[in-house]
Amino acid sequence: MNALLGVFASAVLPVVAIAAAGFLLGRVRDVEPGPLNTVTVYVLAPALVFHSLATSTLAAGTLARVAVGVVAFTLAMAAVAEGVGRIRGTEEPLLSALLLVAVFSNSGNLGIPVSDFAFGETGRSTAVLFLSVQAVLMYTVGVYVASRSGGASGLDGLKRVVRLPLVYAVAGALLARGAGVVPPAEAASMEAVGLVGDSAIPVMLIVLGLQLARTDYAAAVSKAGVGSALKLLVAPAVGLAVAHLVGFSDPTVARVFVLETAMPAAITPVILVAEFAGNRDLGGISVPEYVSTVVLVTTLLSIPLLTVLIVALQSGVLI
């Protein structure tokens, strides 16, 4: 019990407190999260990604293994969710919505802060890389799945990936490392980038709280069970299997990888289904309302589950 309380107080409570502040702000004031999210996506997160990867002590082989692991996890969870959905007789657009919430984790707004608090600098660097690879997959595989739910091709949406700053931040950091031109950590330029990147973590959590405060979930809770179970129970098990198969040389990296796969459903799919599936009816609720509900339910339920998982990971019981 003391271990659980210690992990909750040190790794989960700070994250929950900041997100809760954003949630309360969204409830008492009409604050639009869009502008903050734009600043995060185009300025703060790229700075965080570049600084973390450029200054990371993770070996190149470890970076490659994390990328391979994220791709393998995404494909495996997509197969599992598709299979479960078809066995249950789930039809479009709910089938594609189920895939999106089961596959993509909130590895940014929640995953990076939790990994940082739980596993320090290595946790943060691993989480940043997980987020970067998943972002590319979300705007390719995710766009295809979302467009399938709306009966569209979604090819225009795939163009978003080439406009995603995170992609260029990853490429720039890796090229700078490969060429040996990364400025010293104490250099003014790197300190400035690091300062901007550090601000991404609290802003991500504020945005998460604001977005959850705007979620209308009352009519959709009854439909969120399968998606929530896949995300919170099946996804970590798949992530653990992938981590063992990939064979990370650094156990901390492996543990953070599993932790990232256990994060609640990502919020970006809400935007994707809103664009491609619109307000198609799911029996009294729309596709975006269903996805938003799973995001809210998994976020709330993840608080105790993540606490237990972090204790198990830190103790070395799982990996």
Summarised one tens digit per residue, pLDDT across range 27-69 is 999 888 878 878 888 898 889 889 888 888 788 889 899 999 9
* Total of domains in the chain: 1
Average pLDDT value for residue range 115-136: 90
**CA–CA dist 244, 161 (Å, integer):** 30
Q: Is 286 strand, coil or helix? A: strand
Structure tokens at 130: 């997980």
Q: Mean pLDDT across the chain, nearest whole number?
A: 85
Name every residue whose Cβ is closer than 8 Å to that of residue 297 and which is 6 or more positions away in sequence.
217, 221, 224, 228
Residue 159 has pLDDT above 80, yes or no: no
Residue 136 has pLDDT above 60, yes or no: yes
| pLDDT number for residue 235 | 97
| pLDDT number for residue 11 | 73
Average pLDDT value for residue range 140-151: 73
Compare 203 and 241 and report the one with higher pLDDT: 241
| pLDDT number for residue 170 | 82
**CA–CA dist 211, 126 (Å, integer):** 25
Residue 155 has pLDDT above 60, yes or no: no
Half-sphere exposure (Cβ direction) of 314: Cα atoms closer than 13 Å: 19
Average pLDDT value for residue range 255-269: 92
- Give me the domain span that covers residue 225: 2-315
From first CA to last CA, the distance across the chain in angstroms is 21
**265 phi and psi angles, rounded to 5 deg:** -60, 140
**CA–CA dist 52, 190 (Å, integer):** 10
**CA–CA dist 55, 185 (Å, integer):** 7
Please tell me which of 97-111, 144-158, 162-176 the model is most confident about, judged by mean pLDDT. 97-111
| pLDDT number for residue 269 | 79
- Helices (H) then strands (E): counts for the chain: 17, 0
Residue 3 has pLDDT above 70, yes or no: no
56-95 core/surface letters (b: 16 or more CB in 10 A; e: else): bebeeebbebbbebbbbbbebbbebbbebbeeeebeebbb
Of 92, 43, 73, nearest to 134 (Cα)?
A: 73
Half-sphere exposure (Cβ direction) of 194: Cα atoms closer than 13 Å: 17
Please tell me which of 159-163, 164-168, 289-293, 305-309 the model is most confident about, judged by mean pLDDT. 305-309
Average pLDDT value for residue range 273-287: 65
| pLDDT number for residue 163 | 72
Stretch among 160-164, 182-186, 231-235 having the lowest mean pLDDT: 160-164
| pLDDT number for residue 217 | 63
| pLDDT number for residue 265 | 93
**CA–CA dist 259, 236 (Å, integer):** 7
Q: How crowded is residue 301: how many other Cβ atoms within 10 Å of its Cβ?
A: 16
pTM for the model: 0.83
- How would residue 211 be classed by pLDDT, with cut points 50, 70 and 90? confident
> Which CATH number covers residue 52?
1.20.1530.20
Compare 245 and 165 and report the one with higher pLDDT: 245
| pLDDT number for residue 246 | 95
Residue 291 has pLDDT above 60, yes or no: yes
Q: Cβ distance 260 to 111 under 8 Å?
A: yes
